[in-house]
Structure 1
């Protein structure tokens, strides 16, 4: 499943939302592996050319398999014939991965789609770590909103906190203000 509005167009649109203070420092890349069975690879967010988040399909799917296996061991449930049960276990495994910040390339595209099609106010309230990161980098999120996020950001994943700190530093917003 390759991303359908062309990645170059999506990237251009995504970059148009990046705040001015980080525009030259942030980059989004999609790397597809043509020889992979599904031709998917990974999506990467870099800051100053250093990978901050790599969303690799192969790693995510491998980890999902391990999580599903662990859940089945905990539940002592190895009945693979119950479709509803299988989906519930898969959903639980996927939630664990998202909590840990393990994403596949298609998760990035899915988050991007939601981000592009939702007002910034809605995206800011999202439980999706990727959408939160995109919001923190978004030029539509001003200094006042960033300042208001100071309390709630401590409850977020450390990666979201890292991007928040990066944005605050770039905007000269300090915790003492």
Structure 2
């Protein structure tokens, strides 16, 4: 599907409150094969989320350590998480240490998901995610682990104000970009 047709369909699903505020933009370079192009989601004429085809190396370890050491990330640890650690570690580990190990495991999983998401922000992946969004139900897009599907669903007209307000707890565990678009939609609903 061509970019102009895809853009037209995506903008047709925008929430009425966001029409004119949220735009989809793309650039491409026809005569430069090593430059695949960029794709943006703009809010009020500012490029908020930029997706470009990655050509440089990603510092995996550094990114993971930054995420794991960020004090603002709040990951809830459930009794099932602690029990899973107890099963793998044995009965000799103190309870407070089990909580620390369970939290570190969840932070590592979260960091890996964030790194995968950051690496997947490219124009070609945006096109693929947009096409998949147009073909799936809004519920699947909201519950998906794919950041782009979440963002596209949050700014969709089929998601009502009541559903947006009921999602406040689940959004806290999502990527910061998803949280940004959630707050944007909440403020304009």
Structure 1 residue 146 corresponds to structure 2 residue 156? no
CA distance in 1, matches of 2:175, 2:147: 7
From 55, 63, 82, the equivalent of 2:51 is 55
Deviates more, 1:32-41 or 1:118-127: 32-41
- Tell me the residue number matched to 2:122: 104
How do residues 85-124 of structure 1 correspond to structure 2 at under 5 angstroms?
Answer: 97-100=115-118, 103-124=121-142
Runs of 4 or more above 6 Å deviation: none
Q: What is the aligned residue count?
A: 140
CA distance in 1, matches of 2:5, 2:151: 20
Bigger-Rg structure (1/2): 2
Structure 1: give runs of 5+ residues left out of the alignment: 69-93, 172-177
CA distance in 2, matches of 1:116, 1:156: 21
- Tell me the residue number matched to 1:23: 19
Q: Tell me by how many angstroms 1:97 deviates.
A: 3.8
RMSD: 2.2
- Tell me the residue number matched to 1:86: none
Give the TM-score of the pair, scaled to structure 1. Answer: 0.72
Structure 2: give runs of 5+ residues left out of the alignment: 62-111
CA distance in 1, matches of 2:168, 2:119: 21
